[in-house]
Amino acid sequence: MLIVDRLSKVYDAHGRRVEALADITFSVAEGEFACVVGPSGCGKTTLLRCLAGLLSPTSGTATVHGKLAVVFQEYGRSLFPWLRVRDNVGLPLKDLSKRERQAKVEGALEAVGLTDAAGAYPWQLSGGMQQRVAIARAIAYGPRVLLMDEPFAAVDAQTRADLEDLIRDVWHRLGVTLLFITHDIDESVYLGQRVIVLSSAPSRVAENIKIDLPDERDQLTTRGDARFVELRARIYAHIQKAKRGSTS
Amino acid sequence: MSATLKRVGIWLGLPVALVTVWWFASAGSTDFFRPSLQRIVQAFRETWLGPRFVEEVLPSLARLAVGYVLAVILGVVIGVAIGLSVRTRALTEPVLEFLRAIPPPILVPVIMLFAGIENTMKVIVIVFGCIWPILLNTVEGVRATDEVLTDTCQVYGVKPLRHLVLQSASPQIMTGARQALAIGIILMVISEMVAANNGLGFTIVQFQRGFQIPEMWSGVLLLGLIGVALAGLFHLAERRVLVWYHGSRDADRR
Amino acid sequence: MKGLLGLACFGALWELLPRLGVVPSQWAPPLSEVVRALGAEARERRFWDAVTDTLVTWALGLGIAVVAGIVVGVVIGAVPLLRTATASTIEFLRPIPSVALIPLAVVLYGVTITSTLILVVYASFWQVLIQVLHGVADVDPVARDTASIYRLPKVRYLYWPTALPYVATGVRLAASVALILAVTGELVIGSPGLGKQIALAQMSNAVPQMYALVLVTGLIGVAANVLARFAERRALFWHPSVRREVPA
């Protein structure tokens, strides 16, 4: 699980002080799928980097319990171009024996449907497939917590729909705690058990909504569901308010 | 089959034509300083395809190899160290800019002061000249490491020095290594022309001073062939090592 | 700022190590002695003559090489047939070490500036040519089609502007190569210039003087690099993306 307590992050860039995160507090329970949405520039990526240990907070804490893995938005740049897919997926597993590593890699590639691509180089694959490799790498690592930073923002809509269903499937199978950052409101409601809405920078948690949709989600029916539309509208209104109210 | 033949034909066409023109234009030449190509080829066969190859040419190439390999190792190690540290880079930049601007051949007299004219001097000269392109390109390559990859290493507990830095910088390092090879050949010859008692460069200068003109031309020809051969070998090696890089560039271009 | 500190440390080491005997002073005299010798040199007419000779050789050789490289490069680059026909010849001639020409030049043209000039032009020409060929090849196909439709003269409106950044890079590379070959030619062939002065100093075992001349040559090299990089940046300022130097 992960706990964020009064997290704040201030950047000092060229003499200007930029307060990205003012006071963020929320927690995600063990095995829960939570989405974070907010207007552009509200510091979603900063929040993720603090959780991932890539940035240190100015004050407050961002704690993750257990091993964590990250899937970045720039899938093209997060895979090592000199390694084949299977070696990319197996890279974090260098402490394991060769056989163990191979087994985990094969399992992970199967989970994302890329068994045939094991011997290819990342740049030989499409964008969607590259992101699947990144997801497979996270799966093989066996984390308790998975952080995803707008992972499907840079793929086309069709591929995005497939990847959304894939990640819910992976989440079900592994039982990881998943924090999913996105700017796409529909996606956040479709995917999450809970949606955390951030205000504009300096951001706070504007809303922490439980998504009480059934666990079985489907691209066609769920998105037309009345409750889905209601939740979506509520979040949309919050974000509009957050955008307008940022200066008040 | 005929497509390959056509490609080979185009590749060889102009060079063969030029050589043929040279052959016939210079045939029967009585100019002492510009002997006929036929005479040059004959001198080539007599001079270099014999014991002299082992006595003079191989030692020169061996010195080049030793100097070059040393320069690569030193250049990469120092380059990585400097490239990883912003502070070290800022500290050393002007000094390195100055040292690399010194034309390496004029260091031959300097290095002769403490290394004499034997093998050590020549190897040191080659190292000093070859190290700069490698070192500077390594620094550039290390600097340009993609931050997403660095973040990935940090998250997954992968050591960047072992798995990321050199691999990511390798295309840039290869560029430096290619430039260094060209410089190395030049320095191998110069160090022997200026001060030596054996070697390929020394032998050619001896021919020149002794007015053995066709032999001198044949030496020049040999140098040209060595240059082309080494460049070709490097190209092959680079294609093997950087398969992934060329592939990903082609994919980007599409 | 830190760079100056680095230079100062370098200077301090150069002064101290020979004085302390760590480096035998016949190998390398202390910096102060070298500077004193430099001062003495600067009072001699022959020093300034040598500097002028080197600079003239360098500038003349570079100029000829740049003009020839651009003309040949644009002509070959603009005609695809020429491009394919000459590709192999260029690949064969390029790697021929310029120093191979030294004995030929001496035998045919004697111990004159002409010999050194041949060396300089030969080596620098290839640097410019390769860059220009890549520049012309880099022409945007959309731009080319536009020029065709509007019947614009291709060389002036298409090839030249596209190739200009590459030409700038080529000139920068050629400038450094030209200086190296100019001084090398003076050293080995004996044509007038700094290289010859260094050879003379070495023969008369005037060690501080020799170092002083090497220092001056290095400084000229630095100045040439800085100038060339400055000119390159001026030529590139309008360019949307700074082109990466094509491996020469």
pLDDT at A243: 73
**pLDDT tens-place string over residues A24-42:** 999 999 999 999 998 877 7
pLDDT higher than 80, residue A244: no
Kindly state whether residues A159 and A213 are assigned to the same domain.
yes
Q: What percent of chain B has pLDDT over 70?
A: 99
Q: Which pLDDT value is given to residue C238? A: 66
Q: Which residue of A has its CA nearest to B241?
A: A82
Helix axes B200-209, C101-109, angle to 10 degrees: 10
Decide if A61 touches B, using CB distance below 8 A. Answer: no
* Beta bridge pairs of residue A178: A33, A146
Model confidence at C248, pLDDT cuts 50, 70, 90, reads very low
Of C10, C108, C199, the CB nearest to B95: C10
- Calpha distance B124→B115 (Å, rounded): 8
Q: Judge whether residue A247 has pLDDT over 70.
A: no
pLDDT of C55 higher than 60? yes
Give the residues across from A203 on adjacent strands. Answer: A21
At A204, phi and psi to the nearest 5?
Answer: -130, 170
Question: Cα(C87)–Cα(C92) distance, rounded to whole angstroms?
Answer: 9
Q: Does position C212 have pLDDT exceeding 70, yes or no?
A: yes
Q: Is the peptide bond before A202 cis (omega within 30 degrees of 0)?
A: yes
Cβ pair A123:B252 closer than 8 A: yes
Residue-wise pLDDT tens digits, B81-109:
999 998 899 899 889 989 989 999 998 88
Tell me the C-alpha distance between B155 and B157, whole Å. 6
Q: CA-CA distances (angstroms) from residue B228 to A108, B14, B15, B182, C52?
A: 48, 17, 13, 10, 35
The rounded distance, in Å, linking the Cα atoms of B125 and B105 is: 8
- Asked whether C37 and C198 are in contact (CB, 8 A), the reply is no
pLDDT digits (tens, 9 = 90+) for C103-138: 989 988 988 899 999 999 999 999 999 999 988 887
Residue contact B247–A121, C-beta within 8 A: yes
Query: Which one of B14, B102, B227 has the shortest CB-CB distance to C221?
Result: B102
Whether A91 and B154 lie within 8 Å, measured CB to CB: no
Nearest to A54 among B154, B170, B247 (CB): B154
Give the residue numbers spanning the domain of A192: 2-67+144-244
Asked whether residue A85 falls in the same domain as residue A200, the answer is no
Rounded to an integer, the average pLDDT of B189-196 is 87
Chains B and C lie in contact, requiring 3 or more CB pairs less than 8 Å apart: yes
CA distances from B236 to B11, B229, B230 (A): 17, 11, 10
What CATH topology corresponds to C49-236? MetI-like fold (1.10.3720)
Under 8 Å between Cβ of C173 and C131 = yes
Quote the CATH superfamily of domain B38-253: MetI-like (1.10.3720.10)
Percent of chain A with pLDDT over 70: 98
User: B214 — contact with chain C (CB < 8 Å)?
Assistant: no
Same domain flag for A131 and A152: no
Nearest-CA distance A52 → chain B (Å): 7
Query: What's the CA gap between A104 and A111, in Å, rounded?
Result: 10
Chains C and A physically touch (3 or more Cβ atom pairs below 8 Å): no
Domain contains A73: no
The closest of B197, B195, B196, B218 to B207, measured between CA atoms, is B218
Decide if A75 is inside a domain. Answer: no
A135 and A154 fall within a common domain: no
Beta bridge partners of A23: A204
Q: Which of C13, C96, C198, C230 to mutate to test the interface with B (most CBs of B within 10 A)?
A: C96
Mean pLDDT of A88-102: 92
- CA C133 – CA C27 distance, rounded (Å): 46
Nearest CA of chain B to the CA of A53: how many Å? Answer: 8
Q: How far is C7 from chain B (nearest CA, A)?
A: 6
In B49-161, where does DSSP find H-type helix?
A: 51-52, 58-84, 86-101, 107-115, 119-143, 147-156, 160
CB of B153 closer than 8 Å to CB of C62: no
Considering only CB atoms, which chain A residues are within 8 Å of B164? 80
Parse chain B into domains and list their residue ranges: 38-253
Region A123-136 average pLDDT: 93
Share of chain A above pLDDT 90, in %: 64
Domains of chain C, residue spans: 49-236
The total of other beta-carbon atoms located within 10 Å of residue B188's CB is 30
**So what's the pLDDT on residue A67?**
92
Of A142, A160, A190, which one is at a domain's C-terminal end?
A: A142
- B170 → chain A, closest CA residue: A82
User: Residue range B15-32: average pLDDT?
Assistant: 87
Residues 230 through 249 of chain B touching chain C, CB cutoff 8 Å: 230-231
Tokens 């398969």, residue?
B243
Taking CB atoms and an 8 Å limit, are A78 and B149 in contact across chains?
yes
**Could you tell me if B10 lies within 8 Å of chain C, comparing CB atoms?**
yes
Residue C24: closest C-alpha in chain B: B114
* Chain A: residue whose CA lies nearest to B157: A92
Cβ count within 10 A of residue C81: 9
Residues A24 and A50 in one domain: yes
**What strands, in cross-sheet order, belong to the sheet with A2-13?**
A59-64, A2-13, A16-28, A203-210, A194-198, A33-37, A177-181, A145-149, A68-71
Whether residue A248 has pLDDT greater than 50 = no
Are C224 and C92 spatial neighbours (Cβ–Cβ below 8 Å)? no
Distance from CA of B130 to the nearest CA of C (A): 14
With contact defined as beta carbons under 8 Å apart, do A22 and A204 qualify?
A: yes
Q: In the structure, what pLDDT confidence band is assigned to residue B197 with cuts at 50, 70 and 90?
A: confident
On the question of pLDDT at B51 being above 90, the answer is no
- Structure tokens of C7? 């230079």
Q: Which of B100, B69, B103, B110 is nearest to B195 (CA)?
A: B110
Enumerate long-range contacts of C167-170, CB under 8 Å, 24 or more apart. Answer: C167/C66, C167/C70, C167/C128, C167/C131, C167/C132, C167/C135, C167/C235, C168/C231, C168/C232, C168/C235, C168/C236, C169/C131, C169/C232, C169/C243, C169/C245, C169/C246, C170/C66, C170/C69, C170/C127, C170/C128, C170/C129, C170/C130, C170/C131, C170/C132
Q: What is the mean pLDDT of residues B228-240?
A: 93
Rg (CA), chain C: 22
Q: Tell me: the pLDDT tens digits for C222-238? A: 999 898 888 878 777 76
Tell me, yes or no, whether A30 and A54 share the same domain: yes
**For B156, which of A77, A81, A92 is closest by C-beta distance?**
A92
Cα–Cα distances (Å) from C98 to A79, B100, B127, B132, in that order, read 43, 20, 19, 19
Look at residue C244 in the predicted model and tell me its pLDDT. Answer: 47
Residues 6+ away with beta carbon under 8 Å from B111 = B121, B124, B125, B128
Report the C-alpha gap between A31 and A33 in whole angstroms. 7
Q: By the 8 A CB rule, do A195 and A209 touch?
A: yes
- Chain segment C155-164, per-residue pLDDT in tens: 777 777 777 8
- Give me Rg for the CA atoms of chain B: 23
- Apex CA C224: angle with CA B80 and CA C179, to 5°? 90
Confidence label for B5 from pLDDT (cuts 50, 70 and 90):
confident
Residues 137-176 of A with CB under 8 A from B: 137, 141
Q: If 0-12 CB within 10 Å is exposed, 13-18 middle and 19+ buried, where does residue C111 land?
A: middle
Task: Give the model's pLDDT for residue C228.
Answer: 85
Checking if the pLDDT of C40 tops 60, the result is yes
**Smallest Cα–Cα separation from A163: which of A185, A142, A191?**
A191
In terms of DSSP bridges, do strands A16-28 and A203-210 run parallel, antiparallel, or are they unpaired?
parallel
Q: Say yes or no: ipTM exceeds 0.85.
A: yes
Q: Stretch C206-228: mean pLDDT, rounded? A: 92
pLDDT at C240 over 70: no
DSSP chain A: -EEEEEEEEEEEETTEEEEEEEEEEEEE-TT-EEEEE-STTSSHHHHHHHHHTSS--SEEEEEE-S-EEEE-S-HHHHS-TTS-HHHHHHGGGTTS-HHHHHHHHHHHHHHTT-GGGTTS-GGGS-HHHHHHHHHHHHHHH--SEEEEESTTTTS-HHHHHHHHHHHHHHHHHH--EEEEE-S-HHHHHHH-SEEEEE-SSSEEEEEEEE--S-S---TTHHHH-HHHHHHHHHHHHHHHHHHHTT--
- Who contacts A129 (Cβ-Cβ below 8 Å, separation ≥6)? A114, A117
* Cβ <8 Å between C198 and B207: no
- Do C221 and B101 lie within an 8 Å CB cutoff? yes
β-pairing, A59-64 vs A177-181, is: unpaired
Please compute the mean of the pLDDT values over residues A99-122 and round it to a whole number: 94
Which chain B residue is nearest to residue A54, measuring alpha carbons?
A: B151
pLDDT at residue A245, as a whole number = 62
Q: Given a cut of 60, is residue C142 above it in pLDDT?
A: yes
The tally of domains found in chain A comes to: 2
CB pair distance less than 8 Å for C97 and B182: yes
Whether the pLDDT of residue A212 is over 60: the answer is yes
**Averaged pLDDT, A124-138:** 94
According to DSSP, the β-strands at A145-149 and A68-71 are parallel
Q: How confident is the model over A174-193, as a mean pLDDT? A: 93
- Structure tokens, C110: 């004697």
Helix B166-194 with B200-209: angle, nearest 10 deg? 30
Most distant CA atoms of chain A, gap in Å: 59
Q: How many CB atoms lie within 10 A of CB A184?
A: 16
> What's the CA gap between B126 and B69, in Å, rounded?
10
- Distance from A176 to chain B by nearest Cα, in Å? 16
Give me the residue from A77, A92, A94 closest to B149, CB to CB.
A77
